[in-house]
Structure 1
Amino acid sequence: MVSDDADVLVIGAGLAGLRCAGVLAAAGREVRVLELGDDVGGRVRTDAIDGFLCDRGFQVLNSAYPELRRAVDIPALGLKPFGAGVAVRRERSAAIWAHPLREPLRVPAMLIGGGIRPTDVLALSRWGIAALRPGRLTSPERPDTTLAAALDRARVRGEVRRVVDRFLAGVLLEDTGSTSNAFSLLLARMFLRGVPALPAEGMQALPRQLAAPLDDRIALNYPVTRIERSADGWDVWGSDGVTHAPNVVVAAGPVDAATLTGSAQPATHGVVTDWWASDDIPTTPPMLWVDGRADPAGPVLNTAVISKAAPSYAPPGRHLIAASALLDSSGAAPPEAVTRQHAGAIMGIDSRNWKPLIRNVIPHALPAQPPPLRARRPVRLGDGLWWCGDHRDTASIQGALVSGRRTAEQILAT
């Protein structure tokens, strides 16, 4: 049985739970973390398969996230950045749409033959200018709306619209444009300020660093079945009995958190990510690829040769490829052969000999973020009962970390 001497029990060792527990422990509180899985990380996990590192779902880390700098030692992660921009499969060719601030010398080529016209630049500027002023993403005169409506209003059209839609669909995990435009602009701001990257040892290096100071306070393989109010706190029913604490923080995923707390389940989006190994990959930029064609040949939202950006993800002389697609309305994923063929077509690579390594089907990968944006949802459920996670903040690594810290600070203030 987990020790009853804890002041706070945190259920879930994902990013939010670990951040919450870390802040509490640093303040001198007796905290214990109960984790259902066999390792820390929650949705941020990495599997080692035949010498390859396969994250559970395609995930990237943006060092521009403000909370990341507060929570971890970023240099210790050994971040391996992707190329600054996006590679686009066009109707008859491919083009690199470079980050204009980080790769300004590429901008003339983009305007001459890359599919971006001066009118497109103006339209994107009309949409994205608010990202430079995060405190004024909305106003009484211009309330938050959906991403699709905002792009329509800015007259973002044609090939540029298709690329923006498909790139953001891979980030937001929905392809209808129903996400809050204010939230989309916050993400655009992060992409302007930083470049997506991968830790050298996989995305799970992030939660493992958060967990390191808490190592002896974390109980793995510990399922929690229910929480009940007691006279002087809360009883937590687990795999080996009942544990008591004055404060309980539910930091499980959004579905399990709702079940344990009796709260409404947050809406979520699902995704499937396929991982393949290959011995022969032609020269291709270390960038994320999207299909900018009017009639894409398959369901893939984005794909990349991961080992081009992060060589440590593959054994020497071999390559690792990933591609992600949405689940359909029934929660079903497209066949692996279909995503493999489409990923190869997007990058202009023969994919017939790619070896499947693992398929991650994640039904509740990301909380939905519809308008109007509510970046700070309550984390207190009752006297001594709390919950945290990206469903209480913004649907991102940044949001998970902020939510964990916010919950810890409110506990410390009581």
Structure 2
Amino acid sequence: MQVLVIGGGVAGLVCARTLHRKGYEVTLIEATDGLGGRVRSDQVDGFILDRGFQVLFTAYPAVQRQLQLAALDLRAFDPGAIVVWQGRHFVLTDPLRDRDPAALAGAVLAPVVPFSDKLRTLQVALRMRRHTIDDLLAGPDRTTIEELRALGFSTQMIDRFFRPFFGGIFLDRSLQTSAKCFRFNFKMMSDGETVVPNRGMGAIAEQLATDLRTAGRIRLNTRAVALVEESGRVCGVRLADGSTMMADAVVLATPAPETARLSGLPMPEGQLGSACVWLATRQPLYRGKKLILNADEKAFVNTLAPMSAVAPGYAPTGWHLYAAAILGVPEQDDSTVVARAMVDLNRMFINEATATTALANARILRVDRIPFSQFRQPPGLHPNLPDNRTERRGLYLAGEVTEASSINAALLSGERCAEAIQADLPR
């Protein structure tokens, strides 16, 4: 039984690997020169740069099933975050997971948000731990901002913490994303760690691809331009070079816009983009392994991540690597984007002489632009997402578009797509 998987992101890799292990004759084709899609890393002058800033939650259920976590040499961010507000740095952290006494004491005393909000956050975290994922996702939906207000959080807490923190996850500081996404992500962070592999996020894709590479089942630089259909059934694809590849089942494991183009089927509308300025300094901008959140309502840089402090493998000895994450894709050229980012970073460290000097001598390594980082996830969207099976016989979907916009969802969709093919086309 021959299966053709189009797209070498994590969903396509999981689907292809699962079917390969079950004895199907699988071929995975990828239009670019590497695997992973957005979960990919590059070597640049001895640094490891991911395709935009991203992290992995170890509590993701699909991660527990699909990845050998020990082999990834995972390194964890410290719980909580440092909030920059009016030029001052304030620590907010999770007392259930943070073992740093100084961070805990600083968080209790930090005046950036009311103490009542800190207690409320702890209560929410405890409730999330007690409930299952299914419990948290049941019932009617609403926006994240509505959820936070209903939970009793103050305007200060929402504006100074939740907008930059969850806005960074959802790529939307207005927090119009489904509250079910908020609950799920909050639980994942409460139940596990926030990590990156020491050799970059691309290590995830490389691990998933090992069996397929060994068996010679992957073709890179191979772009599908159209589906081939015979007798009312999708049976292959036409490639950019004019050749065709035939199969008993075809899986589209591509981003939503490309899936819509190839299949002609409706996909979730609205895309959210992101950008990232990668910079390296000789001196650390700050100590520790917490994210820095820019609480300024006019923030250009939303988040600053100390990548090499968390995972030393990201940078050569003697260098400190940072990812300055930007929501949306700026229209300006790279030099202008870098200039705007540096203005924000200098404001964030305006009272830190050592950091200011380090920024003045920073080395800019790359500017990433990811036009399609996520699809919009307003309340009520998820029950109406496409199924792994499509109305076109022989055509299946594997990708976050069938579940939600996250690494867990991509892995889960790959699993479910493989299950559907095994049920429909048993060996």
Q: TM-score, normalised by structure 1?
A: 0.91
Cα distance in 1 between the residues matched to 2:364 and 2:332: 21
**How far does residue 346 in structure 1 lie from its aligned partner after superposition?**
2.5
Query: Does the CA contact (< 8 Å) of 1:183 and 1:373 recur in 2?
Result: no
Change (3 A) 1:284 1:257: same
Query: Does the CA contact (< 8 Å) of 1:62 and 1:197 recur in 2?
Result: yes
> Where do 1:114-263 residues align within 5 Å?
115-124=112-121, 131-132=128-129, 133=131, 134-137=133-136, 143-162=140-159, 163-215=161-213, 216-231=216-231, 233-240=234-241, 241-263=243-265
Larger mean CA deviation between 194-203 and 321-330 belongs to 321-330
Instruction: Name the SS of the counterpart of 1:236 in structure 2.
Output: strand
Change (3 A) 1:184 1:282: closer
**How far does residue 122 in structure 1 lie from its aligned partner after superposition?**
4.5
The reply to whether residue 51 of structure 1 matches residue 46 of structure 2 is yes
Query: Does the CA contact (< 8 Å) of 2:4 and 2:27 recur in 1?
Result: yes
Unpaired stretches in structure 1, ≥5 consecutive residues: 1-5
Cα distance in 1 between the residues matched to 2:368 and 2:115: 40
Cα distance in 2 between the residues matched to 1:71 and 1:222: 26
CA-based RMSD: 2.2
Change (3 A) 1:97 1:149: same
Aligned residues: 405
> Where do 1:17-96 residues align within 5 Å?
17-91=12-86, 93-96=88-91
Instruction: Name the SS of the counterpart of 2:27 in structure 1.
Output: strand
Query: Does the CA contact (< 8 Å) of 1:60 and 1:197 recur in 2?
Result: yes
The reply to whether residue 397 of structure 1 matches residue 407 of structure 2 is yes
Cα distance in 2 between the residues matched to 1:138 and 1:129: 16
In the other structure, the counterpart of 2:367 is 359
In the other structure, the counterpart of 1:3 is none
Query: Does the CA contact (< 8 Å) of 2:67 and 2:208 recur in 1?
Result: yes
Cα distance in 2 between the residues matched to 1:304 and 1:384: 43
Cα distance in 1 between the residues matched to 2:255 and 2:25: 23
**How far does residue 355 in structure 1 lie from its aligned partner after superposition?**
1.5
Query: Does the CA contact (< 8 Å) of 2:329 and 2:371 recur in 1?
Result: no
CA offset digits 1:356-413 (Å, max 9, x no partner) = 1111111101122111252674111122101111111121100000000000001001
Query: Does the CA contact (< 8 Å) of 2:8 and 2:30 recur in 1?
Result: yes
Change (3 A) 1:206 1:290: same
Query: Does the CA contact (< 8 Å) of 2:125 and 2:190 recur in 1?
Result: no
In the other structure, the counterpart of 1:412 is 422
Query: Does the CA contact (< 8 Å) of 2:275 and 2:330 recur in 1?
Result: no
Q: TM-score, normalised by structure 2?
A: 0.89
Amino acid at match of 1:400: A
**How far does residue 201 in structure 1 lie from its aligned partner after superposition?**
1.1
Query: Does the CA contact (< 8 Å) of 1:58 and 1:324 recur in 2?
Result: yes
Cα distance in 2 between the residues matched to 1:20 and 1:328: 30
Cα distance in 2 between the residues matched to 1:117 and 1:406: 44
Larger mean CA deviation between 366-375 and 68-77 belongs to 366-375
Instruction: Name the SS of the counterpart of 1:269 in structure 2.
Output: strand
